[in-house]
């Protein structure tokens, strides 16, 4: 879990519907890009990198819930 001071600093971004929507749309675009790399790659290292990128980007999409869960 992230330090609470960082989570509270992110609260304005996740509370703004416009900013959060734009952020998640950008994340979706990056997830799609890395998913295509994963599907098309035959190199195991590139596949692992793409898997890690998709995992990290999906984790960022859960940031709003994590921020809102803190007091």
pLDDT per position as a tens digit, 19-48: 999 999 999 999 999 999 999 999 999 999
- The residue extents of the domains of the chain are 10-66
Average pLDDT value for residue range 47-59: 97
Confidence of residue 8 (pLDDT cuts 50, 70, 90): confident
pLDDT classification of 71: cutoffs 50, 70, 90: low
Q: By 3-state DSSP, what share of the chain in percent is helix, strand and coil, each rounded to 5?
A: 85, 0, 15
**Which DSSP letter does residue 49 get?**
H
The CB-side HSE value for 20 (13 A sphere, CA atoms) comes to 15
Q: What is the pTM of this model?
A: 0.85
Provide the strand spans (E) within 1-71: none
d(CA 3, CA 33): 30
| CA 60 – CA 4 distance, rounded (Å) | 16
1, pLDDT greater than 70: no
């Amino acid at each position: 879990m992230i330090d609470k001071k960082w989570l509270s600093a992110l609260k304005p971004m996740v509370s703004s519907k416009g900013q959060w929507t734009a952020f998640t749309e950008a994340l979706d675009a990056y997830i799609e890009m890395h998913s295509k790399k994963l599907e098309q790659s035959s190199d195991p290292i590139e596949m692992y990198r793409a898997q890690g990128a998709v995992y990290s980007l999906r984790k960022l999409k859960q940031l709003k819930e994590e921020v809102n869960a803190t007091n």
